[in-house]
Amino acid sequence: MDSDSWVKLAIYICFLFGAAYCAAAESAFSGMNKIRVKNLAEDGDRKAKKAMGISEDFDKAITALLIGTNVMHIGCASLSTVIGLDLWGEIYGQGTATTIATVVTTIVVYFASELVPKCLAKANSEKVACAFAPSLRVMMTVLTPFVWLFSGISSLLVRLFPKNEEPTYTEEELVTIIETGEEEGVLDEESSELLQSAMEFSETTVSEVMTVREDVELIDITLSENEMLNIVRNTRHSRLPLYEGSADNIVGVLPIRPFLKKYINKETTNLRSLMYQPLVVLPTTPVHELFDTMRNSKVYMAVVKDEEGEFKGIATIEDFVEEIVGEIWDEDDVVDKNFIKLGGYNYDVNARLTVGDTFSRLGRTVVDTRIRSKTLNTWMIENLGHVPEEDECFEYGDLTFEATDVDDDGRVIRITVSIRDEDEAEDATDAAEQAEEVSK
């Protein structure tokens, strides 16, 4: 090769590096974790700040990179043909030499300026994006006229087609990200469950978390002061609903502390003057809406009634917190971890309990004696026909059995039992209370 051919080869290699740069930059900015780069930028990383600026103006960046890629590829193709003719033109003829040059440069360009740079950049997206950000910003500035021209043409063409506005991440995708983070060890199990519970919070209704009517401690507003005092002494609650005539007629909520303060000071305890008007909501009210209302109005307890005005239960701030972080037990609570009553007509049950024991606690009778002694774990597998995954469920009469905790061996640890029939649910609540008394 003469000196002229060496110069052409050097320019050819420069074109290869230029194409590799464009390919790596495109891959890095397309695949980088914006949240991670944003955190770096907030920590004072200047290159990360430039990378975030480019990502926010990504359409112009990708246009500049595509222009650069095409220029580099055209340069590679042109020079490879010239070099091929110089090397093999006299030996094999121009046609064969051009074919050889085309095949060789296609392979070289594919590996050296596309595949390898993109793979390396994808594996280190944030680092590459931050490293390339200053030079890419210069490239975008130099190519501004061309970027403006091609971006304008692209925008006109895009307007011809309907645009589908979608969020960056759907709720399902966010849940997948959280689960992936747990699997990779970025999040522990408790953090993962807490985040998922917080996301599900917006889809939860009051009926799912409320303390049902049968579990609510109500006070007749017509009781005497001594009768009232006896109830207050024995209660574990800081507020109690007051009714007049019937339980459906909730007239107020009594805060216990002001009542006791007046009693200690030997003042007249007028319940009507101490109580405050209850916040009344429907069972179908979304929990997050009620939570905002209660927080803004500084109300701790809401009374739940249906469309016909029938009292269904109460909802408190504690119920909402428990929906996210799990059950909160007071120091004097007697906890039976095998059978825990949740909000609404839902029960968290140890899957090692037998079907007979579970039904008994729910006030039910097992008709099929063959399943009475089986554990819930075994019974669930038989009903589903396979080892269940978390959140998988089956129905039995008006009961729903949902696997909420499954270990790595496919063994169900905890099951949530839900009662769909409200009348039956009330009977089950009474039975559960009796079972709790026995356990004490």
The residue-averaged pLDDT of 35-46 equals 87
The model's confidence at residue 435, banded by pLDDT at 50, 70 and 90, is very low
The residue-averaged pLDDT of 390-410 equals 88
CA–CA separation, 411 vs 278, rounded Å?
A: 45
Q: With a cut of 80, say whether residue 317 has pLDDT above it.
A: yes
The residue-averaged pLDDT of 65-73 equals 91
The whole-number pLDDT of residue 439 equals: 44
The residue-averaged pLDDT of 234-258 equals 87
Q: Which residue has the higher pLDDT, 39 or 176?
A: 39
The residue-averaged pLDDT of 140-169 equals 76
The amino acid sitting at 63 is: T
Q: Which residue has the higher pLDDT, 203 or 243?
A: 243
Residue-wise pLDDT tens digits, 260-305: 888 788 777 777 888 888 889 999 998 888 888 888 888 888 999 9
Q: With a cut of 80, say whether residue 224 has pLDDT above it.
A: yes
The amino acid sitting at 357 is: D
Residue 213, helix vs strand vs coil: helix
The model's confidence at residue 440, banded by pLDDT at 50, 70 and 90, is very low
The residue-averaged pLDDT of 87-112 equals 83
Classify residue 399 by its DSSP letter.
E
The model's confidence at residue 366, banded by pLDDT at 50, 70 and 90, is confident
Q: With a cut of 70, say whether residue 171 has pLDDT above it.
A: no
The whole-number pLDDT of residue 134 equals: 92
Mean pLDDT score of the chain: 82
Portion of the chain with pLDDT greater than 90, in percent: 17
Q: With a cut of 60, say whether residue 63 has pLDDT above it.
A: yes
The whole-number pLDDT of residue 282 equals: 92
Q: With a cut of 90, say whether residue 402 has pLDDT above it.
A: yes
**0.85 surpassed by pTM:** no
CA–CA separation, 130 vs 28, rounded Å?
A: 9
Classify residue 114 by its DSSP letter.
I
The whole-number pLDDT of residue 1 equals: 57
DSSP string, 221-272: TT--HHHHHHHHHH---SEEEEEESEEEEEEEEEEHHHHHHHHHTT----HH
Phi, psi of 244 (to 5 degrees): -135, 120
The whole-number pLDDT of residue 436 equals: 46
Classify residue 375 by its DSSP letter.
B
The tokens describing 110, both together, are: 């594919």
The tokens describing 307, both together, are: 């469309």
The whole-number pLDDT of residue 17 equals: 93
Q: With a cut of 70, say whether residue 413 has pLDDT above it.
A: yes
The model's confidence at residue 415, banded by pLDDT at 50, 70 and 90, is very high
The whole-number pLDDT of residue 325 equals: 67
The amino acid sitting at 85 is: L
Q: With a cut of 60, say whether residue 342 has pLDDT above it.
A: yes
**First-residue to last-residue Cα distance in the chain:** 97
The residue-averaged pLDDT of 195-217 equals 79
Q: With a cut of 80, say whether residue 166 has pLDDT above it.
A: no
Q: With a cut of 60, say whether residue 421 has pLDDT above it.
A: yes
- Burial annotation 12-38 (CB, 10 A radius, 16+ → b, else e): beebbebbbbbbbbbbbbbbbebeebe
Portion of the chain with pLDDT greater than 70, in percent: 88
The amino acid sitting at 211 is: T
